[in-house]
A = this chain, B = another copy of it.
């Protein structure tokens, strides 16, 4: 439980910064080398590395040195802890709507395929 709270805290603190969010958005498309990651931002390499360190410590990204360049990737399932926390904050009315939706999806037959 303590671990879960610490993970939620680290992920939210990491994502509260717009530059780090932009890095995550870029990496969702695929891995990138550090120099390419920095291109859209007017910042020094040490500043970018500091952002990457915070993302890595929060378990959101991983990096790997290949030859002379370092490749950064989004860690699969890295944001699951935040999905989990968000699901816990649904109000009773939202939970009721969820249950209704699940019930309808199970009991409503799929419409027949249209014939051309």
Contacts and interface: CB of A to CB of B under 8 A. Distances in A.
Nearest to A18: B9
Give the oligomeric copy count: 2
Task: Describe A's contact surface by its main secondary structure.
Answer: helix
Given A12-B15, A18-B9, A28 B74 contact: no
A94 interface: yes
Q: Which 10 A-B pairs have the closest CB atoms?
A: A16-B16, A28-B89, A12-B16, A13-B16, A12-B15, A74-B91, A79-B86, A24-B89, A76-B91, A28-B91
Interface of A: 5, 8-9, 12-13, 15-16, 18, 21, 24-25, 28-30, 74, 76-77, 79, 82-83, 85-86, 88-94, 106, 110
